[in-house]
Amino acid sequence: MKSMLRSGLFEIEQESIAPIPAEARHGRSQELFTIWFGMNMTPLTVVTGATATTLLGLPMVSSIIAILLGHALGGIGMALHAAQGPQLGVPQMLQARGQFGSRGASLIVLVAILMFVGYFSSNLIVSADSITALLPEAGGTAMITGCAVLSFVIAAFGYNLVRKVTAFGAYIVGALVLVSFAALLAGGDFWARMNHGEFTWTGFLAMLAIGIVWQLTYAPYVSDYSRYMPARSGTRGAFWGTYLGCVVSSALLMILGAGVGIAVGGVDTMTGLNGILGPVLGAAVLVGFALVAAAGNSVNAYCSALCALTLVETFASGWRPGAKARLVTSLVLHVLGVTLALAAATSFASSYFSFLSVLLYVLIPWSAVNLVDYYVIRHGSYAVDEFYAADGGRYGRWNAGSLIVFGIGVLAQIPFMATPFYTGAAAEAMGGIDVAWLVGLGVSSLAYMVIARTAPALVRLHSGSAEPQVLGK
């Protein structure tokens, strides 16, 4: 019987969270590069980069170094997650059951869903703002809704169309970025002001952290795309395709944002870019950015649907969600994202977007446990079919050891946090420098290795022969 899992470009993807069998595997590392290169080609990336020279007040050279170093370092952890996809063939958040148990992983999955919806809404807002800056009569509500409809249509068809659209968008916005850089460097304001600002370790390390955390936010779903790659492709192709695509694009656009920010002073970043480019070219670039960002937002939508299905399946024993379940879930999440985006002016929405920074602290210990367990403890050997067992299989419903480490990792970060809600004592003593991410990664990694080596039963590590990697049939 011919597999229906390998859908055509405009055929509804039939798979959701089940393991991808060998006959449905396809794709190359170059395609992963274009997915993640296109994913970051958004106005939100440019606006975030402007933080270096505007809010943090760094000179241009210092900003470039902080941006490049931050993304280069953060990309390593992110891409190590992507390299798990070809081996296991399941979505990233479902694979968390191998470390935390079926019910324990649901806590991480819920956090990931909240984060995905938040970033989906953020992209809707920035994309709509880029168009309404040129066409005020279009209306923000109409633009947000239109961008969401475009995202839903692409995400509805599934993996193959999402992959092709982001790849196509990478070429379009890549060309627009080159044009933008040429216009920026040709202007006198940039060269006259590039040394404006003052280097401070607080500002430098803050921008460094932004780059690192920006990359780590992709960790919960990079395997959702590499899971379709043939197992024989190994980890190297998935790692480098994802790493280079994500790091190069995000660093490039943030450097552009930093340059625009220093050239235009306190002007809104996208409005400033429009002014640098001129009315005709500026309109083309802003609209191009907005449309590609709206289409690329389907990446967030697709992955958030897989996470939501994973969460429901945890408590619906024996249920195997298919295409219909994925479509309904995607529609619900789009409606939720649009509602949040339209409410952006309210205090609730403002607090929610600030709360996203807190969610990142929660995901960092998960990332540490996942990477140590996969690469150091189990060496990529998992009984994949047991991820779906009603009782959690050999991984159980709750993995006490991993959850303890997770709690330790979150608590260890608290003194070092610097957020709109709370600034820890250690962060205040360091002048507001936020190194919580570094503390969380280090403490969680060390604690998990100690528990796995000294009390393997506590993390449900079976002694003796390596665990089999059993892919779904």
Q: How many Cβ atoms sit within 10 Å of the Cβ of residue 281? A: 15
Task: Tell me which of 98 and 280 has the higher pLDDT.
Answer: 98
| pLDDT above 70 for 462 | no
* 463 confidence band (pLDDT: 50, 70, 90): very low
| pLDDT of residue 1 exceeding 60 | no
Which pLDDT score is estimated for 312?
92
Predicted local confidence at residue 285, as pLDDT:
85
Q: Flag the least confident range among 3-12, 51-60, 275-284.
A: 3-12
Confidence check: pLDDT of 340 > 80: yes
pLDDT one-digit tens code per residue, 181-197: 999 999 878 888 888 88
The predicted-structure confidence for 410-428, as pLDDT tens digits, reads as follows 999 999 988 777 889 998 8
The whole-chain average pLDDT of the chain stands at 85
Element spanning 251, H or E: helix 234-264
pLDDT (mean) for 299-323: 88
Give yes or no for residue 279 having a pLDDT over 80: yes
Cα–Cα dist 220/290, whole Å? 25
pLDDT band of 331, cuts 50, 70, 90 = very high
What whole-number distance in Å separates Cα of residue 74 and Cα of residue 244?
12
What's the pLDDT band for 2 if we cut at 50, 70, 90?
very low
- The predicted pLDDT at position 351 comes to 59
Give the tens place of pLDDT for each residue, 114-162.
Answer: 888 888 888 888 778 777 767 776 667 888 888 899 999 999 998 888 8
The lowest-confidence range among 10-14, 42-46, 455-459, 467-471 is: 467-471
Q: Where are the domains of the chain?
A: 31-357
* pLDDT recorded at residue 412: 96
Contact 43, 177 (CB under 8 A): no
Q: Give the pTM.
A: 0.87
More confident residue, 430 or 267: 430
pLDDT, tens digit (0-9, with 9 covering 90-100), for 71-80: 999 999 999 9
Domain range 31-357, its CATH number among 1.10.10.10, 1.10.8.50, 1.10.4160.10, 3.20.10.10: 1.10.4160.10
The pLDDT tens digits of the residues spanning 350-408 come to: 555 566 667 778 889 999 999 999 999 999 899 999 999 988 889 999 999 999 999 99
At residue 15, the pLDDT reads 78
Q: Where are the alpha helices (DSSP H) in 265-381?
A: 269-277, 279-296, 298-314, 323-342, 347-371
Cα distances (angstroms) measured from residue 469 to each of 10, 67, 106, 369, 445: 32, 38, 22, 19, 24
